[in-house]
Chains A and B, each alone.
Chain A
């Protein structure tokens, strides 16, 4: 349960170390989970681990004992296929027992192949790409209407930015001056069919968001300190929404998965898992 103050700027080495340690554990847990279930987007989850760790264990305000708490910060995983990292984070936060992780993608599980309302802590179903930012727009508008100070965080993949729906939402968020939204793009430069710049070029990506009226930051999405600082800056921004382009590596943390797109949409074999866990020790 992170009740940490959003304005806390003292990112001591202790804090960074603790979060990095957590992130490493999440990498292990999500790899074990996906290998056990025999499927799942392990490599897409690995690139978002550090971002999600920072959000759930430092930045966001929430209460797992009361998932519907009106003043909670909202989190939307627009790249729903990255859910393995969300599930391990929600379990660690206390939304459900860790034993549930073993049921991921199995019949009757509360942890579906893509996030849905069966999972405590999930705000809206995702998996059909390009819709999470629109959901955030709705949550942010409600927050403004009710004079609440909660913040809405959305993690998007870069590949899903191909969807026109994302840009409809980007336009609306800027138009309604939704400074209570922070979008984080997990910029790992890969989509299913190959490198984003070969399949459907996105660059210059920051310029695109800026042209849509957003406050834009670009960071190393695996540098915990940069993540924390940018999230803090985002909350301080008034009058416009913020997008953090987090440059990441698909499969981050496992040398033979990093940057190898053949691992998209699959789990590691038992042998690969053993190797990966050794690396993550």
Chain B
């Protein structure tokens, strides 16, 4: 399976959008080579601002630019974008509902060797709880491209979560799946696989793992439906209630803490609408550590095998 990092797709689509939309300006905090915004910087030097290692100033500067009609896209590592500049994002971006896009790379633990200081397992939770904020987690490079195009067309603050390592392509070129063209809509989850026994609700790089898990389960005669929730907020409540009713069991999967992320969001919906067995695959309230991306995902329980085990458990508990 071909692998491309979501940050690489981001760098390319930024250049494409910069060409079309002269209002787009890009800000980075001294990591433009790594976040891939350097591609935009090279092409449009006047519309790129390196703000140095100063994330707080960068966020509010972006807010100021947005008040003058610019569409600022702000990039740095996810841990610094969200946790370092949280109050700035809250006070001057989310609260006034300004049109600033925060596109962060190096999310989750798949950052790898840099270790816990550079990994974030809580960004979805803290960005999701912020009023006015839209939160998007693309599953692969192709979804990153359509997702970034969509957020530029959307007016309002958005957080997009990208990653460092190359990850398998879930979609086919042009945002197709199984040959069929799809439409990326903010707030609308995508059903990737049919199945009546259980639903795996996944986001980000765990979507590919969910599909692998579904293939393994099929051999055990468990038919798992797989949905990709690329928008964590506003979440597609309708489809989540529907799949819970139709399949009677849920497993969520995300490269994020089991607290407050996709699993938390799904649990919040289910508890108000329908009671079904559910398990959350994610990082169990722990900080990360150094290691290879693959080694870390294995150690922290973020593989297809972990999803398979969880599915077997919830399917058994179905009444």
Contacts and interface: CB of A to CB of B under 8 A. Distances in A.
A137 B95 contact: no
Given A142-B64, A142-B68, A125 B96 contact: yes
A134 B61 contact: yes
Interface string A30-56: 000000000000000000000000000
Contacts of B47: 145
A125 B90 CA distance: 10
B6 interface: no
B67 A172 contact: no
Contact of B61 (A116, A127, A128, A172): A172
Contacts of A123: 67
A128 B64 contact: no
A110 to B, nearest CB: 14
Chain A contact patch, size range: 20 to 34
Contact of A168 (B49, B54, B97): B54
A75 B212 CA distance: 56
A280 interface: no
Interface string A132-159: 0011111111110110000000000000
Contact of A172 (B51, B66, B95): B51
B56 A142 contact: no
A138 B65 contact: yes
Interface residues of B, number: 30
A146 B68 contact: yes
Nearest to A130: B56
A125 B63 CA distance: 10
Contacts of B91: 125-128, 131
The listed residue with most B CB atoms (<10 A of its CB), out of A124, A126, A164, is A124
Contact of B57 (A74, A137, A140): A137
Contact of A134 (B64, B67, B96): B64
B25 interface: yes
A161 to B, nearest CB: 14
B60 interface: yes
Interface string B38-75: 00000000110101101011011111111111101000
Contacts of B54: 168, 171-172
Contacts of B70: 142, 145
Interface in B86-108: 87-88, 90-92, 95-97
Given A124-B92, A127-B91, A165 B64 contact: no
Nearest to B100: A138
A168 B65 contact: no
Contacts of B67: 74, 123-124, 135, 138-139, 142
A83 interface: no
B32 to A, nearest CB: 16
A85 interface: no
A192 interface: no
A148 B233 CA distance: 37
Interface in B161-175: none
The listed residue with most B CB atoms (<10 A of its CB), out of A126, A135, A138, A175, is A138
A131 B86 CA distance: 12
A141 B68 CA distance: 10
B126 to A, nearest CB: 16
Contacts of A117: 96-97
A126 B70 CA distance: 20
A224 interface: no
A77 interface: no
A203 B39 CA distance: 43
Contact of B68 (A116, A128, A143): A143
Contacts of B63: 124, 134-135, 138
Contact of A138 (B56, B66, B90, B97): B66
B60 A141 contact: no
Contacts of B51: 172
B64 A137 contact: yes
Contacts of B61: 134-135, 137-138, 141, 169, 172
A141 B57 contact: no
Contacts of B66: 138
Contacts of B92: 124-125, 131, 134-135
B95 A165 contact: no
B52 A124 contact: no
B60 to A, nearest CB: 3
A172 B64 contact: no
Contacts of A139: 64-65, 67-68
B96 A164 contact: no
Nearest to B55: A168
A145 B88 contact: no
B45 to A, nearest CB: 12
Contacts of A145: 25, 46-47, 70
B60 A134 contact: yes
7 contacts: A74-B67, A124-B92, A134-B61, A139-B65, A146-B68, A168-B52, A168-B56
**What 9 pairs between A and B have smallest CB-CB spacing?**
A138-B64, A134-B60, A142-B68, A168-B57, A168-B54, A135-B64, A138-B65, A138-B61, A128-B91
Given A124-B64, A138-B65, 4 more contacts: A131-B92, A135-B92, A136-B64, A138-B64
